[in-house]
């Protein structure tokens, strides 16, 4: 069980030792679990944020009536009326293709919506208006531009000889927080005293170098985070009550408060650990989404991450024998996720906004640029929380919080395995130009290769698709 689930679990957003748990803990005398409740695995408690697949549907008993008004952790009740603006903007054929090629995870379960010959009827979970119906168009036409703040490459003003990324507004989201938060967010890696790399610090450096290169090509660039501090104003101590509530609703009625001295699942099932996760993983992304959607309003967001394989105990981490890369677009929604009304709304909002039509070809161009700049092989998922999409071996669809709630195309990058020994040694050196001696060879900066790959892909995409 450990092998595959451990490796895959850590592929997006890295080795969080705590995330590497898939065991349903046995009820203990101190925290009895009522027989009628099936506890979620620790990793299911905050769904959509990690790689644990839901259990396969093995001859399920007749399901009780589903509660369709639930929200994801810290989720906001959606305004379902917003979907009305998509009336007659998409054909049934286009809708079914998008669902099949991007948004479905292939589960055979009945979804909380039903198809009619000329429309889709979605269950909202709202007792006052339990359904919303979106009529299909009889012929293809895009939604009105006023309904979205982002522009496709084909909608950019003609270049007329200006720098190639002129007018394009690119937001760069440096994944995680880094700095003094790296240990709490389990993104701190050190193989020897006095040295360490932190994913959130590396992504910020990468973002700063990338921003300058894109600006030099004419782009307007915004950083979603520009320092080693959270964007959210909330802290774990503000999230104690929702953390406790989450554990109780997940079948752990008397959770322990603090994780001092605890490891493994016991640590994950404490109010303290859940409140920290709600802080750095959920509240932080909601705050960034608010900034992206209401203030930055970019044409595209590039989410920068560095990947890792399971490194075990953070005080004695293990090297991984290989490094790899993949690029994520939004999609692959699991039934357990779609039971939450905000998640369901956000999926339909993305689908009808046709974000996938811009996201996939841009992701493919960036993946090609990064493949040539980094020479990394493609990562291969073996779990059902991700699905391969399109024709480029590096591209997967996943339902992540960031690529779901940022209301524009999002390309989410996962190159390099930080605990691959040579990669780790390169990353310790930070950003540099040219080559320097690493592990007995002259090597380029991994950060510089990352940036060159992204720039190459973004440039190729806009040069091919925007009016000259």
Q: Residues in the site for Zn ion, rule: CB under 5 A?
A: 13-14, 175, 305
In whole angstroms, the minimum distance from the beta carbon of 379 to Zn ion comes to 13
By beta-carbon proximity to Zn ion, the closer residue of 168 and 177 is: 177
In whole angstroms, the minimum distance from the beta carbon of 459 to Zn ion comes to 25
In whole angstroms, the minimum distance from the beta carbon of 208 to Zn ion comes to 17
By beta-carbon proximity to Zn ion, the closer residue of 14 and 168 is: 14
In whole angstroms, the minimum distance from the beta carbon of 193 to Zn ion comes to 25
Local structure of 349: helix, strand or coil: helix
By beta-carbon proximity to Zn ion, the closer residue of 13 and 278 is: 13
By beta-carbon proximity to Zn ion, the closer residue of 33 and 397 is: 397
In whole angstroms, the minimum distance from the beta carbon of 407 to Zn ion comes to 21
Beta bridge mates, 28: 31
Structure tokens at 379: 């990562």
Separation CA 401–CA 282 (nearest Å): 8
Separation CA 447–CA 263 (nearest Å): 33
Number of alpha helices (DSSP H) and beta strands (DSSP E) in the chain? 13, 14
Q: Following CA atoms 7, 11, 14, 18 in sequence, which dihedral angle do they give, to the nearest 10 degrees?
A: -50
Rg, the chain, Cα only? 22
In whole angstroms, the minimum distance from the beta carbon of 444 to Zn ion comes to 22
Residue 453: enclosing H or E segment and its boundaries?
A: helix 446-465
* HSE, side-chain direction, 13 A CA sphere, residue 153: 19
Separation CA 221–CA 169 (nearest Å): 6
Separation CA 99–CA 122 (nearest Å): 14
In whole angstroms, the minimum distance from the beta carbon of 187 to Zn ion comes to 7
By beta-carbon proximity to Zn ion, the closer residue of 305 and 354 is: 305
In whole angstroms, the minimum distance from the beta carbon of 201 to Zn ion comes to 12
Separation CA 464–CA 276 (nearest Å): 44
By beta-carbon proximity to Zn ion, the closer residue of 124 and 198 is: 198
Separation CA 88–CA 142 (nearest Å): 9
By beta-carbon proximity to Zn ion, the closer residue of 98 and 402 is: 402
300-304 and 410-415 strand pairing: parallel
By beta-carbon proximity to Zn ion, the closer residue of 6 and 13 is: 13
Q: Could you tell me the sign of the dihedral formed by the alpha carbons of 134, 139, 141, 144, in that order? A: negative
> How many CB atoms are closer than 10 A to CB 306?
28
């Amino acid at each position: 069980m450990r092998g595959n689930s451990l490796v895959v679990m850590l592929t997006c957003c890295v080795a969080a030792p705590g995330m590497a748990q898939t065991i349903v803990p046995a009820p203990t005398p101190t925290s009895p679990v009522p027989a009628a409740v099936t506890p979620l695995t620790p990793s299911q408690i905050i769904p959509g944020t990690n790689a644990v697949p839901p259990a396969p549907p093995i001859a399920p008993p007749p399901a009780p009536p589903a509660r369709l008004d639930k929200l994801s952790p810290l989720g906001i009740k959606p305004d379902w009326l917003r979907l009305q603006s998509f009336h007659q903007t998409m054909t049934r054929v286009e809708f079914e293709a998008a669902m099949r090629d991007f948004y479905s995870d292939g589960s055979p379960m009945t979804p909380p919506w039903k198809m009619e010959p000329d429309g889709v009827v979605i269950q909202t979970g709202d007792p006052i208006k339990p359904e919303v119906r979106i009529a299909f168009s009889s012929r293809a036409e895009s939604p009105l531009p006023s309904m979205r703040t982002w522009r496709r490459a084909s909608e950019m003003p003609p270049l007329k000889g200006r720098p190639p990324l002129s007018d394009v507004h690119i937001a760069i989201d440096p994944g995680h927080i880094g700095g003094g938060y790296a240990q709490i967010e389990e993104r701190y890696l050190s193989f020897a005293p006095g040295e360490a790399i932190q994913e959130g610090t590396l992504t910020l450096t990468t973002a700063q170098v990338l921003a300058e290169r894109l600006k030099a090509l004419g782009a307007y660039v915004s950083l979603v985070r520009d320092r080693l501090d959270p964007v959210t104003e909330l802290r774990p101590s503000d999230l104690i009550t929702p953390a406790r509530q989450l554990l109780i609703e997940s079948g752990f009625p008397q959770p322990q408060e603090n994780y001092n001295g605890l490891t493994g699942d016991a640590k994950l099932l404490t109010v303290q650990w859940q409140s920290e996760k709600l802080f750095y993983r959920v509240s932080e992304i909601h705050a960034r989404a608010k900034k992206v959607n209401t203030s930055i309003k970019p044409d595209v967001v590039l989410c920068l991450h560095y990947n890792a394989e399971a490194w075990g105990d953070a005080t004695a981490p293990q090297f991984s024998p290989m490094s790899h890369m993949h690029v994520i677009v939004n999609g692959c929604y699991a039934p357990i996720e779609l039971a939450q009304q905000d998640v369901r709304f956000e999926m339909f909002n993305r689908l009808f906004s046709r974000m996938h039509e811009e996201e996939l070809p841009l992701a493919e161009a960036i993946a090609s640029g990064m493949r040539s700049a980094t020479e990394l092989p493609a990562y291969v998922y073996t779990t059902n929380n991700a699905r391969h999409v399109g024709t480029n071996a590096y591209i997967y669809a996943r339902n992540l919080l960031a690529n779901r709630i940022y209301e524009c195309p999002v390309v989410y990058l996962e190159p390099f395995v930080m605990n691959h020994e040579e990669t780790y040694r390169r990353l310790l050196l930070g950003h540099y130009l040219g080559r320097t001696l690493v592990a007995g060879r002259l090597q380029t900066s991994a950060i510089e290769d990352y940036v060159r790959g992204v720039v190459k892909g973004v440039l190729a995409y806009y040069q091919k698709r925007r009016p000259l």
